[in-house]
Amino acid sequence: MPTVGVKRDLLFKALGRSYTDEEFDELCFEFGLELDEITSEKEIISREQGDTKASGASDVILYKIDVPANRYDLLCLEGLVRGLQVFKNKLEVPRYKRVSPLSGEPQKLIITKETEAVRPHAVAAVLRNITFTQERYDSFIELQEKLHQNICRKRSLVAIGTHDLDTISGPFTYTAKRPGDISFKPLNQTKEYTATQLMSLYKTDSHLRHYLHIIEDKPLYPVIYDSNGVVLSMPPIINGDHSKISLKTKNVFIECTATDQTKAKTVLDMMVTMFSEYCAQPFTYELAYRKEKLSGKFINQKVGINESTEKIAHLLTRMCLLSQATGAGDEIEVEIPPTRSDIIHACDIMEDAAIAYGFNNITRTTPRTYTVANQFPLNKLTELLRQDLAAAGFTEALNFALCSQEDIAEKLGKKISEMRAVHISNPKTAEFQVARTTLLPGLLKTIAANRKMPLPLKLFEISDVVLKDETKDVGARNSRRFCAVYYNKSPGFEVIHGLLDRTMQLLEVKPARGEGYHIQTADDSTFFPGRCADIFVRGKNVGRLGVLHPDVINRFELTMPCSALEMDIEPFL
Amino acid sequence: MADTGVLETLLQRVEKVDDGVDSLAVATSLGVDHQVIVGAVKSLQALGDVISAELRSSKHWELTEEGTEIAEQGSHESRVFSCIPQEGLAQSELMKLPFGKIGFSKAMSSKWIRVDKAHEGGPRIFRTVESIDDQVREKLLLVQKGHSTQLEEKEKNELKKRKLLSEVTVKSYWITKGNSFSTTITKQETELTPEMIASGNWKEKKFKPYNFEAMGVAPDCGHLHPLMKVRTQFRQIFLEMGFTEMPTNNFIESSFWNFDSLFQPQQHPARDQHDTFFLSDPAHAHEFPQDYLERVKKVHSEGGYGSQGYKYDWKIEEAQKNILRTHTTAVSARMLYKLAQQKFTPVKYFSIDRVFRNETLDATHLAEFHQIEGVVADYGLTLGDLMGVLHQFFTKLGITKLRFKPAYNPYTEPSMEVFSYHEGLKKWVEVGNSGVFRPEMLLPMGLPEDVSVIAWGLSLERPTMIKYGINNIRELVGHKVNLQMVYDSPICRNPPTHF
């Protein structure tokens, strides 16, 4: 969820009144925002870098507001204020229009086919006759940054460039060239560099180095020129210094280059609609308004309210969706402005009606859905067994499903290649290399972490392990296991064996070869030679028990003898 | 038990008086150590209400070892005085005596003696007065005879400073008759035995009272894990509300079911390496319902079912990528798809199981946690119904004050965060997330258009940590668990009233 920082006093000035912190928090809640923190630049610097660095920083109060991830129109002060003012009926829904330049000739951005392999899409617009102040300018830069971090996915999907139109001349060309053939003076540098040089220059730049990978290994780099061959930008990395905007800029040329055309348009719409209010003719910009028709009944039924068509149209208008009853039955025509790229279905419109109505004003009702509850049989068996295993004197442990390769292989005296383990491709640490194929390592680690506890330690766990299985659509399946360990001064094989007998008694399996259960000697490198047996139930091997091998005990940093049992419980369903 | 003789003697003493006796006085008069009497008092108390004994403490003055010596032989200075003959004594001779040094300086300051330093054969000491009055000795004798009250405080403190007197605290019992006073002692039995029951002679016996202040012997038992105890309660609540449990025993999921089927676009940040665990082996899922997959592809890339779609190039390669599921909603999607393949009947589903996130870990976040999820599918469900169901669910947890905040989630619209009023913190705290599944998710599955599906979710760990007062999640989940905490944790009658 993106967070927007706005100066409180500036916000209240724009809203035309002041609020107590509680009142503003309440307004946010109703509108679906969250007043996350009340702070100041000074406080932030002092917290992050210490008090000394903070001295002299501004102590103007900042509101940090959490904005829903799909509401790009609320990522700056201008958009927030506009949304809230319309919501509170204090402002009419703005109408965004395009104006033609005095010359009558619109600017052109020509896209060449060389861009196809690297960054195929570009859109552009001009904000005419804008007046910047320091605050507006800061907000303009901040919005670009917020968009870059969110919808633009760190510039990989879309990158924004803004330019002082009066320093350049159209038509503009968006093309792609070999890095060695691109040369210009980048923003805030004093001399020209080739694109190749720039890439190594920015390797150490704390901000820009994160974007280099987007084009780094491409044969051609994207670049935008004006009609005189001046470089506007080399997206998505850096703009040229020549066309940089300042407080004095009157006409802003905005270009968005992208790998996703839909998102490029959304981003351009955001930049222009948000700042068009500072143009001599406010809110003038060309724009794709879309109209949707839906019925009042649809809204009433989905939300669970009973409002007139007119009232619903009014609710929607308060959410910047200019709406009116068409007069044909309960039909409502809704106009989706370019600022609301999040509205893609009638259900999005319905939600806005519900928000404007107030979620907490909706009557809470009980659906009459009649159903009979059923437990998942495997979970039912697990629940019942757990109770009785605890009653048998064993304590339940709960271990992670993810672990290291070492845990399930080397430490148990096995080879990882022999385990049917699923492997994780992007673990941040060794603890998350594989999904466990056995519950035993988790229980042994639990004992190791609790060696100070009085002996004996008797633990069990019933949980899932994960095994590769070609017959499943994803190539793997869970297997529900029961594992128990006994840790004491003597191995206590008879204790674990007794627990197996008790478990079989609970599961109504009698001790007998053939139709019952029996154990028979087995070889397993995890166990002490001659002290390991396979468990057979109705002729099928379901698990193993035995005294652990001293090497295994050592590898888990334990010092006492230990016996263990692990078996599948799914055959007992 | 103390010697029966002493016990009976003590009881006889107590019988003779009306108001009681002091244990110290009894010890003195019997000529035994005080501790013997104290032991007798304790033994008699253990017999029941034979006597009552009140602990008293008193302070009194006692002579130190040095003080006792002085009381017998006189003060150092007086002994110096008396050993000096008429013709005087050489100072070197005097200093050889054990009391010489201290006695000399005291006698000098009392002007009882003088030193002739110029005397032939070294300094010599002579008496200066005829007789002396050894007051120190007299004072000490007074104290020794128990008349210390005749001395002034100042005098006593001075003697204390000279380490001749010390003040001691003495604890003694004031012993009076108890309700069942008797001068004879019956031997008490400790436990009822089978023989006593058989013979019936328990009727004549007296039994030693139990100490009800002591703890009992801890039973030898196993224990259930606290998180699982809370899980059982949540499971019970869903079952009471008529919800059927979903089969969530599949940790490995394809991106298709985990994201694409939920209308979560392929460039969504949740699908990043930073947030999700991807598999290298088996890296891909290989089997999908083909028709459904085509419908999902279409609704993402072109829209349909009344939706604009996301208008991007949807790739099967992304959908095939295997992951550790990031939510149990992947299972809900499979269940709803399955439901859509039959003639529709309303359902209520729930699950509580593990989910995995490749996130940064801290005291409250692990890479895996348990998600609690509830889903209801029926014709014409409203947002009001969702809030009503949530109200019933949370009421069963003891939470009745709820309110809802608009939120965003890629697969629900509307989406609501659920807040409950925390009486302790005096503020609203988030307790879960909820919403109505988007038509772009449900219609491609083949569910009827007028069916709505409402759902909500919360984590199991958070309420458990609050219920059992655990601050670090590692003490609760995983091998670093504190087994003592597991042994000691109470039953979970209700999940916590406040999260």
Question: Which chain B residues have a beta carbon less than 8 Å from that of A356?
Answer: none
CB B153 within 8 A of CB B61: no
CB pairs < 8 Å spanning A and B:
283
Residues 389-418 of B with CB under 8 A from A: 389, 391-392, 403-408, 410, 413-416
Residue type, B232: T
Nearest to A478 among B249, B284, B346 (CB): B249
CB A366 within 8 A of CB B342: no
Mutate to test the interface with B, among A1, A31, A67, A345 (most CBs of B within 10 A): A345
Instruction: Supply the ipTM of this predicted assembly.
Output: 0.85
Contact A396 B486 (CB under 8 A): yes
pLDDT computed for residue A355 by the predictor = 94
pLDDT computed for residue A281 by the predictor = 63
Residues B20 and A266: their CA atoms lie apart, in Å, by: 99
Token code pair at residue A190: 């004093």
Compute the nearest-CA separation of B190 from chain A (Å): 30
Question: Which residues 6+ apart lie within 8 Å of A260 measured at CB?
Answer: A121, A157, A158, B267, B312
Q: How many residues does chain A have?
A: 573
CB B347 within 8 A of CB B390: no
Mutate to test the interface with B, among A261, A474, A481, A485 (most CBs of B within 10 A): A474
Sign of CA dihedral B10, B15, B16, B18: positive
pLDDT computed for residue A423 by the predictor = 96
Residues A3 and B148: their CA atoms lie apart, in Å, by: 83
Looking at the complex, does the CB of residue B118 fall below 8 Å from at least one CB of chain A? no
Token code pair at residue A196: 């190749």
Query: What is the DSSP code (8-state) at residue A55?
Result: T
The pLDDT tens digits of the residues spanning B161-204 come to 888 888 888 888 888 888 878 777 777 788 899 999 999 989 88
Mutate to test the interface with A, among B220, B239, B243, B252 (most CBs of A within 10 A): B252
Question: Which chain A residues have a beta carbon less than 8 Å from that of B486?
Answer: 395-397
Contact B479 A369 (CB under 8 A): no
Compute the nearest-CA separation of B240 from chain A (Å): 8
CB B140 within 8 A of CB B63: yes
Compute the nearest-CA separation of B212 from chain A (Å): 26
Looking at the complex, does the CB of residue B218 fall below 8 Å from at least one CB of chain A? no
pLDDT along chain A (573 residues), means of 10: 89 91 92 90 81 79 90 89 90 81 78 89 88 90 90 92 90 91 91 90 89 91 92 92 91 91 89 81 58 91 94 92 90 89 92 94 92 96 97 96 95 93 92 95 96 94 97 96 96 95 95 93 94 95 96 96 97 93
Cis peptide before A491 (omega within 30 of 0): no
Question: Which residues 6+ apart lie within 8 Å of A239 measured at CB?
Answer: A161, A162, A163, A186, A187, A232, A233
pLDDT computed for residue B463 by the predictor = 85
Question: Which chain B residues have a beta carbon less than 8 Å from that of A435?
Answer: 251-252, 324
Give the residue from B397, B395, B392, B389 showing the smallest Cα distance to B452. B389
Which conformational region is residue A485 in: left (phi greater than 0), alpha (psi within -120 to 50 degrees), or beta?
beta
Residue of B nearest to A427 (CA): B277
pLDDT computed for residue B244 by the predictor = 97
Question: Which residues 6+ apart lie within 8 Å of B340 measured at CB?
Answer: B442, B445, B446, B447
pLDDT computed for residue B34 by the predictor = 83
Strands B244-245 and B347-356: parallel
Contact B306 A423 (CB under 8 A): no
Q: How many residues does chain B have?
A: 499
Nearest to B378 among A347, A367, A435 (CB): A367
Question: Which chain A residues have a beta carbon less than 8 Å from that of B487?
Answer: 395
Mutate to test the interface with A, among B355, B413, B437, B475 (most CBs of A within 10 A): B413
pLDDT along chain B (499 residues), means of 10: 71 82 83 84 79 82 83 84 81 81 82 82 82 83 78 82 83 83 77 91 85 88 94 95 97 97 92 90 95 97 93 94 96 97 96 92 87 96 95 88 92 93 82 95 96 95 84 89 91 64
Residues A355 and A316: their CA atoms lie apart, in Å, by: 9
CB A169 within 8 A of CB A103: no
CB B466 within 8 A of CB B398: no
CB B104 within 8 A of CB B94: yes
CB A432 within 8 A of CB A424: yes
Residues 414-453 of B with CB under 8 A from A: 414-416, 436, 438-440, 452
Token code pair at residue A186: 């980048």
Nearest to A365 among B253, B354, B384 (CB): B384
Residue A480 backbone dihedrals phi, psi, to 5 degrees: -85, 125
Distances in whole angstroms, Cα of residue B230 to Cα of each of A92, B97, B204, B494: 51, 85, 53, 8
Instruction: Report CA A474 to chain centroid distance, whole Å.
Output: 23
Quick one: three-class SS letters along chain B? CCCHHHHHHHHHHHHHCCCCEEHHHHHHHHCCCHHHHHHHHHHHHHCCCCEEEEEEEEEEEEECHHHHHHHHHCCHHHHHHHCCCCCCEEHHHHHCCCCHHHHHHHHHHCCCEEEECCCCCCCEEEECCCCCCCHHHHHHHHHHCCCHHHCCHHHHHHHHHCCCEEEEEEEEEEEEECCCCCCCCCCEECCCCHHHHHHCHHHCCEECCCCCCCCCCCCCCCCCCHHHHHHHHHHHHHHHCCCEECCCCCCEEEHHHHCHHHCCCCCCHHHCCCCCCEEEECCECCCCCHHHHHHHHHHHHCCECCECCCCCCCCHHHHHEEEECCCCHHHHHHHHHHHHCCCCCCEEEEEEEEEECCCCCECCECCEEEEEEEEEEEECCCHHHHHHHHHHHHHHCCCCCEEEEEEEECCEEEEEEEEEEECCCCEEEEEEEEEEECHHHHHHHCCCCCEEEEEEEEECHHHHHHHCCCCCHHHCCCCCCCHHHHHHCCCCCCCCCCC
Q: Return the bridge partners of B416, or none.
A: B406, B434
Cis peptide before A529 (omega within 30 of 0): no
- Other beta carbons within 10 angstroms of residue B294's beta carbon come to 12
Question: Which chain B residues have a beta carbon less than 8 Å from that of A260?
Answer: 267, 312
Compute the nearest-CA separation of B483 from chain A (Å): 7
